[in-house]
Amino acid sequence: MTPDQPIRVVMSKWGDRPHWEYDARYLGVDEHGHWLGCPIGTFYYRPGMEFVSDFAGVVLVPVDGAAHLAAFNDEHAKAWIYVDMTTPPVWDGSVLRAVDLDLDVIKLRDGSVVLDDEDEFAEHRVSFGYPPEVVTMAQRSAAEVLAAVRQGVPPYDGTADRWLSSLVE
């Protein structure tokens, strides 16, 4: 991948159900993973909802096969950090694909950190038929990310600021 290369992010729900899609640009890689940029004006859509962002953000695609995608947003967003628990993201050329597994770790503007959508996860594990190993993976990933965000360990310590600043210069 090369800097500024267009990237398409395609998220689905279990069972190949469409979910969020958006365009980003490749920013680079560091010890935490690959960084994608989503400037103000990025168009996000999923069935039944769409919006054009009034905030900039960067997305971290972990290099170690971790089961999540982490977004770090500027001061205009409602959340500083928003981490989706997913299947390990995979590259399909310039398309990034992952299955969203409902659970989200969110660091809000006031500094509080929450685990969100546990009810949706409980519902979907039955209605979508999540296999036991997927349930375990999502729960383990959520617990690890929640602890890391609360403790402010890298990359949840301001590491993303360098990448985010490249979008707002």
What is the identity of the amino acid at 40? I
Give pLDDT, residue 169. Answer: 56
**Does the pLDDT at position 62 exceed 70?**
yes
Give pTM, 2 decimals: 0.95
Q: pLDDT digits over 105-131, tens only?
A: 999 999 999 999 999 999 999 999 999
Angle at 141 between CA 139 and CA 142, to 5 degrees: 65
Question: pLDDT-derived band of residue 69, with 50, 70 and 90 as boundaries?
Answer: very high
In angstroms, the CA 60 to CA 33 distance is 6
Letter string b/e over residues 128-152, b meaning 16 or more CB atoms within 10 A of that residue's CB: eebeeebeebbbebbeebbebbeee
